[in-house]
Amino acid sequence: MPLTLEIITGERRLLREEDVDEVVAPGSLGELGILPNHAPLITSLTAGELRVKQGNGVEEYFISGGFLEVHADEVTVLADAAEHGSEIDAERAEAARQRALQHLEQASDADRARAQAALARSLQRLRVLEHRRRRGASGREMAR
C-alpha cells in the first residue's frame, strides 16, 4: 500500500498526495527515507530539501524545519515554512544568501547563530533549485 503525504504550514496546506512511493526528509539527525509500512515515527526536521517519489517522478520541496509524523502509511509534515521547488525565486534566494553572508560577517556573538541559520536556509533553497535544474525537462514531475 503506498503512502499518503500531507505538507502543512501555518499558512496553507501545500500538498496532499496519495500513492506516494517514498518520502526523503531532512531529519534533525540526518536525512531519512520513509517507505510504505514504515514504523510509526515522530521526528523533528531541519531546513532542507524534502523529496517526494511517485512512480518515475520526483518532486522537490524546500522546508525550513518542523516535524514529520508517520502513522499507518500516512506521512504528515508540519513545516515552519515550505515551498515547492517551482515556487522558489532564484534571484530572491541568491539575495537572501548574500544578505546572510553580510550579516554573518558583521554579527556579534549573540547574532551569529541567527545569521548562520539564515545562511543555511538560503543555501538549502538554492540546492532545491539546482536539483530541479539538473533534472530539467528529462525528469517527470508529479501532478500537484
For the domain spanning 3-86, the CATH number is 2.60.15.10
Task: Single out the residue of 129, 128, 103 nearest to residue 116, CA to CA.
Answer: 103
The pTM of this model reads 0.75
Pick the CATH number of 88-134 from 1.10.10, 1.20.5, 1.20.1530, 3.40.50: 1.20.5
Question: In this predicted model, which residue has the larger pLDDT, 35 or 94?
Answer: 35
Spans of all domains in the chain: 3-86, 88-134
Task: Single out the residue of 96, 86, 104, 78 nearest to residue 144, CA to CA.
Answer: 86
Interval 120-129 mean pLDDT: 83
The answer to whether 131 and 60 are in contact (CB under 8 A) is: yes
Cell 511517485 belongs to 54
13 DSSP β-pair partners = 8
Q: What is the 3-state secondary structure (H, E, C) of the chain?
A: CCEEEEEECCCCEEEEEEEECEEEEEECCEEEEECCCCCCEEEEECCEEEEEEECCEEEEEEECCEEEEEECCEEEEEECCEEEHHHCCHHHHHHHHHHHHHHHHHCCHHHHHHHHHHHHHHHHHHHHHHHHHHHHHHCCCCCC
The pLDDT tens digits of the residues spanning 68-120 come to 999 999 999 999 999 998 888 888 888 888 888 887 888 777 787 777 787 78
